[in-house]
Structure 1
Amino acid sequence: MAVQDGVATPPSNLVTLIITTSPTPSAPSTDLISDILASFKLHCPVLLSCKVIVVFDTYDRIGDSMRLKKGQITAEGARAVELYKTNVKNLVLGEWYPEAAQNSRAFVHAQGLAEYGSPHLAENHVALSILQTVDRRVTFIEPTGRIGFGLAVRSALRVTETPYVWVQQHDWPLARNIPLESLVEVMQASEGDPSVPVKYVCLPAIRMLSYATSAHVLQFPALRALTAELKRDFPTSGSDSASVPLTPLFFWHDKPHIAATAHYLARIFPSRLAIARGDFIEDSVGQRARTQMKEGNWAKWACWLYYPGDGKEVCLQHRHGRKWRGVEADMQTRALFAEMRSKQSSLLPAS
């Protein structure tokens, strides 16, 4: 158990799971979210006992073709998105509230704003509809217009009541066991050691393998020195891991990560000017953070990479949500390609 004020506290009381989702070709299927939840059950089941906030980003306009990166969707896609939201809500409620707890699913409604840019322009905000169960274990946030990943995360952080968050995009299922209890213990312990602050821990995807010895680090003397000094296995008392291997990370990634809530708000969202509507964190603040880290100010950001197997083990898969059409469509595509390959082979002359 993690320790808070000298008392053992389960991670389910310390961590809120934030899931961000947006229009996808697979809608109204919940395949993406179902895959995420299935990976939690297999690789980090304690997450399913944490409070959860789901943010449903939306689109800007309806057009003749689907251009999700530009916020455009077709009329058919718009209908699918509305059904998708309902399906995801039912999926999440079914997971967080088994049959015996149906009475806990009464909802409280609230309103909010995702503001951005100059405060002198009245139109620089998007209204939010916030729906919570009475015990606040489940929260759904729906903006009336497209806000993007950055403002989606900020909207969730503002209603978070726990000191830590797990931020999860809808197309990054886990591929390896994650010792959440031990990670939280390390982050808590660092509160008393300002020389080794641990405020953010990213999970590694395939392009982050061997990060500590990659060009992202080795080309910069200051980053090499910090890695040599700080990379280590942090001892823990948690039942899910004897120690936690971490290496300094010189970037703030959007892919799944655990972070201190207050640190997140202070560093990434110090004002409404920090993130523009539609922006990803790593494309804006993440770039500025890396510049500062290369100049020697890593401790301000205190970013780490979970580093099992000395950086040789992947913890995440990527489903490419803007392209993913769902399990059934994927199987049909695979079958079609297999049939085409079979026909091509049959036309080849015999050797």
Structure 2
Amino acid sequence: MKRATVAKHVTGGMKHLDSRMTTVSDTIPPAYDRSTTPPRHHAATPNMSPICSSLVSKNVTVIITTSPLRSDPDVSMLHTTLQSLSLAGLSYCRKLLIVDHFDVGEPRLRKQSGRLPQANIDNYNERINNFRSATWAEGTEVVELSEWHGFALAVKSALSLVTTPLVCIVQHDLAFRREVDTKPIVDVLLNKDHHVNYVYFKRDSQRKYDIRSNMQFGLDLGEPVQFETSEQSSSTSVPLLRLPRYFDGTHIASVKWYHSLFSGQYLNGKELGSKGDFIDTNLGIYMQRKASERKELTTLPDGSKVSQGVLDLSDEFGCWLWAGEYDPLIQHLNGRKFLGAEEIASRKKGGNAHK
């Protein structure tokens, strides 16, 4: 299999590690500036005070993956996603925008083909250039891939630039919708005594995931487990629910664990590494099917009951679902909502392939 590559102008095989972008700052990022790029649809109140913590900023790198959007060349969606990081105390962290590459050509029937018409690519490139020049994007490093990757390979490439023990993966159309203290979550992930490698935050479509998992797959996730934290944390414990599958959505995870994933074989013996793949559609489905093979309930020492398959997958992968106060915590941003009425009408009339 041909290995995915990136351009060569920067250490690690990346290009355009934007020279004008600053490194991690010790100051709070600038406030939401509506005069610069007023977002048409945002996930959180812009005047909320960010939660700041050295425990988070020193141990977490934020990776935001992006590809062509319906709203290109407008940067409002990226503005919304980036600004929402302050709600989770992630604004101080090093931030990488991973820009996937697309070639000129007619898209195949499969949506993720790595090819788009020239007009779409021009709009995409304009959005990235607009991002570079935006004052609210200062402190974010822009990394352009030299060939088409898709989500899984883009994450793998980005991990080569990460020096912190933890990473927060964020897709460009997902934003935090409420304030959440991530310090205790980071604390638990850093504790080697806890078998916690990945903590996922639910999005709109995953409300009451534990109930839906039972109804759809016959799996009982049990009750949330309270993980104790250290003195560095602002909370004495973190409630986490066993998660028998991986999701691509917003999560914080161990970098070492992530690296190990790319050396394994999962769905139908397939590795994580084919172009255009999502991790969810390989590892996620593999985990779900494997958990479903053992639906029988096991009684834990505290008297609670959990499906044996859920316990098995939790032991094998250490994936957990944040079971805090808000359900869900993550909002999906619809690209069409960032388009004006005239632009929508124009694209429909012109038969734009990437509406």
Distance 2:104 2:214 in 1: 38
CA apart distance, 1:273:
4.0
Distance 1:56 1:332 in 2: 24
Structure 1 match to 2:173: 171
Structure 2 match to 1:192: 193
Structure 2 match to 1:233: 226
Structure 1 position 22 matched with structure 2 position 67: yes
Partners of 1:232 and 1:245 within 8 A in 2 = yes
With the length of structure 2 as denominator, give the TM-score of the two structures.
Answer: 0.68
Alignment of 1:77-88 (within 5 A): 77-88=120-131
Structure 1 match to 2:317: 301
Distance 1:182 1:188 in 2: 10
Partners of 2:150 and 2:278 within 8 A in 1 = yes
- Out of 58, 65, 77, the position equivalent to 1:32 is 77
Instruction: Kindly report the root-mean-square deviation, in angstroms, between the aligned alpha carbons of the 2 structures.
Output: 3.0
Structure 1 position 313 matched with structure 2 position 315: no
CA apart distance, 1:304:
0.8
Alignment of 1:1-351 (within 5 A): 10-41=55-86, 43-44=87-88, 46-63=89-106, 69-91=112-134, 94-97=136-139, 138-189=140-191, 191-193=192-194, 197-216=195-214, 219-220=217-218, 223-224=219-220, 227-228=221-222, 231-236=224-229, 237=231, 240-270=234-264, 273-295=271-293, 296=309, 297-298=312-313, 299-309=315-325, 313-320=327-334, 324-325=335-336, 327-329=338-340
178-187 or 146-155: which moved more?
A: 178-187
Distance 1:219 1:286 in 2: 14
With the length of structure 1 as denominator, give the TM-score of the two structures.
Answer: 0.68
Distance 1:163 1:34 in 2: 26
Q: Which has the larger radius of gyration?
A: 1
Give the structure with the larger helix fraction: 1
Q: Deviations over 1:214-236 (max 9, x none)?
A: 3347844xx52xx33x6223343
Distance 2:200 2:154 in 1: 18
Distance 2:211 2:103 in 1: 42
Partners of 1:289 and 1:301 within 8 A in 2 = no
Q: Deviations over 1:38-91 (max 9, x none)?
A: 2223x22x3111111111012243339998533332222121122122122333
3-state SS of paired residue (1:53): strand
Partners of 2:60 and 2:94 within 8 A in 1 = yes
- Distance change in 2, residues 1:65/1:32 (3 Å): farther
Structure 2 match to 1:344: none
3-state SS of paired residue (2:244): coil
Distance 1:51 1:172 in 2: 18
Q: Deviations over 1:100-149 (max 9, x none)?
A: xxxxxxxxxxxxxxxxxxxxxxxxxxxxxxxxxxxxxx543222221100
- Distance change in 2, residues 1:187/1:239 (3 Å): closer
Structure 1: gaps spanning 5 or more residues: 1-7, 98-137, 335-351
How high is the sequence identity, in percent, across the aligned residues? 26
Structure 1 match to 2:16: none
3-state SS of paired residue (1:284): helix
State the one-letter code of the partner of 1:212: D
